[in-house]
Amino acid sequence: MAIKRIAALTTGGDAPGMNPAIRSVVRYGINQGLEVMGVFRGWWGLINEELKALSHRSVSGIIGQGGTILKTARCTEFKTEEGQSRAYDTIKKYNIDGLVVIGGNGSFAAAHHFYGKYKIPCVGVSASIDNDINGIDYTIGTDTAINTALDAIDKIRDTATSMERIFVVEVMGRDSGFIALTVALAGGCEDVLIPEKEIDIEAVCHEIVHGNLVGKMSWIIVVAEGAGKAADIADKITEMTGLETRSVVLGHVQRGGRPTAVSRDIALNLGKAAVDCLIAGKTDIALGLAGGRIVEVDFETAIKKKELKIANFCNLIKTLT
C-alpha cells in the first residue's frame, strides 16, 4: 500500500527534543510528497478527533523549544476496546496510512497492541528521559535531562562543601536508575540509590561516619525516585549517623528546558528515519540510537525491561570518590 498521509503524535511523559522530532517528521514527510497530520494529546486526540494538517510553517521556530507543541496526555481510555475502536475510526475517517508515535516504552506497548489488532502501520520514535527503551542506547531527551540534573547537583555541591553537609538529591526514574547513575558519576557524587539494586542504608551510613572521622564533611547521595523518597532517606541518615542531612527533589524540572544539541540531533535524525520506514513499508518497530547509529527494534523487544550495566557505574562511582 502506498503511503500518502501520515500522522504524528506525542504520548506519555514529555521529553526535551520532542519538538525537533515533530519538525523533522513534518518537513521531511512533506518533502517526500506526503501529507502530515498532527494529533493533539496523544492517543486521546485520536479517540476524540483532535488533529489537523501540518505545514512547513506549522513547525517553524520550535526546534529549540522544550515540551511538545502537539501536547501529550495519559489516556486510560485507549486501554479499552471502545477507545481503540474510536481511534481506529478516526484513522479511517481521515485516511491516515501510518502513525509516527513519539514516546517511551508505555507508548510503544500501546502502539504494538494497536497494530496487532488493526494493522495500522506504526513506527516509534524513542523519546524518554529515563532512557529505558530496550535495545537502544540513547533516546531523545535523555541528554537534556541529565544535564539539567547535573547542573543542579553542581550547585548543590557548592553549598554542601561550604556548609559541610550531607545532601540526598532525588532525580527522576520510577523504574530506571539511568539518570541517577549517570549524574552521580558525572557529578562526583559519593553514592547512588536506584530501583534496580537493593538499598543498604546501613552501609551508606557506615561510609558517611567513616568519612566524617577522617575529615570528609560533605556528601551527596543521588536517589532515583523509584528507589525511595529523598526526605525519608535523609531522615534515616540523620537518625543513624547524628549528622545533619538535607533533601532536595529535582522533580519535573528535568522534563523541561531547551533540548541540548545531542537531543536535537537524535530527534531530527529519528524523525526522518521514521518517515523513511513508513514509506518503505516497515511497521511495529521502534527507532533509536545504538552503537552510534540508528537502529530498528521491534516493539515486542523494545518494551521489555532494559538491563543497565549497574556494576560498571557503581564501581566507577566508588573508585572515583
pLDDT tens by residue, 103-141: 999 999 999 999 999 999 999 999 999 999 999 999 999
Is 78 domain-assigned?
A: yes
User: What's the domain count of the chain?
Assistant: 2
Shared-domain flag, residues 9 and 135: yes
Residue 265 annotated to the active site: no
Is 318 domain-assigned?
A: no
- For residue 90, the tally of other CB atoms under 10 A from its CB is 19
Is 321 domain-assigned?
A: no
Shared-domain flag, residues 14 and 126: yes
Shared-domain flag, residues 234 and 104: no
Shared-domain flag, residues 137 and 263: yes
Going by the DSSP 8-state scheme, the letter that residue 283 receives in this structure is -
Indicate which CATH number applies to the domain containing 207.
3.40.50.460
Shared-domain flag, residues 137 and 264: yes
Cβ within 8 Å of residue 287, ≥6 positions away: 123, 124, 125, 126, 270, 273, 274, 277, 294, 295, 296, 297
H helices within the chain, ranges in order? Answer: 18-31, 43-47, 81-93, 105-118, 142-163, 178-186, 201-213, 230-241, 261-279, 299-302, 310-320
SS3 content of the chain, % helix, strand, coil (to 5): 45, 20, 35
Sign of the Cα pseudo-torsion (249, 253, 255, 259, in order): negative
Distance CA 19, CA 227 (A): 31
Of 223, 255, 287, the last residue of a domain is 255
Predicted structure pTM score: 0.93
**And the C-alpha cell for 19?**
519538538
Is 312 domain-assigned?
A: no
Shared-domain flag, residues 86 and 120: yes
Q: What is the pLDDT of residue 229?
A: 96
Shared-domain flag, residues 118 and 212: no
**And the C-alpha cell for 46?**
485520536
Q: What is the pLDDT of residue 3?
A: 94
Shared-domain flag, residues 15 and 130: yes
Q: What is the pLDDT of residue 74?
A: 86
Q: What is the pLDDT of residue 320?
A: 64
Strands 98-103 and 5-10: parallel
Shared-domain flag, residues 179 and 56: no
Q: Given strand 51-54, what is the order of strands in its sheet?
A: 51-54, 35-39, 5-10, 98-103, 122-126, 285-290, 293-298
Shared-domain flag, residues 132 and 9: yes
Q: What is the pLDDT of residue 319?
A: 65
| 182 alpha-carbon distance from chain centroid | 14
Shared-domain flag, residues 249 and 295: no
Q: What is the pLDDT of residue 308?
A: 76
Shared-domain flag, residues 210 and 127: no
| pLDDT lower than 50: segments of the chain | none
Is 319 domain-assigned?
A: no
Is 308 domain-assigned?
A: no
Distance CA 127, CA 255 (A): 11
Q: What is the pLDDT of residue 313?
A: 67
Is 310 domain-assigned?
A: no
Cβ within 8 Å of residue 154, ≥6 positions away: 187
Is 153 domain-assigned?
A: yes
Range of the structural domain that residue 246 is part of: 145-255
Of these residues, 130, 132, 143, 191, which one is catalytic? 130
Indicate which CATH number applies to the domain containing 37.
3.40.50.450
Distance CA 103, CA 94 (A): 22
180: exposed, middle or buried (C-beta count within 10 Å: 0-12, 13-18, 19+)? buried
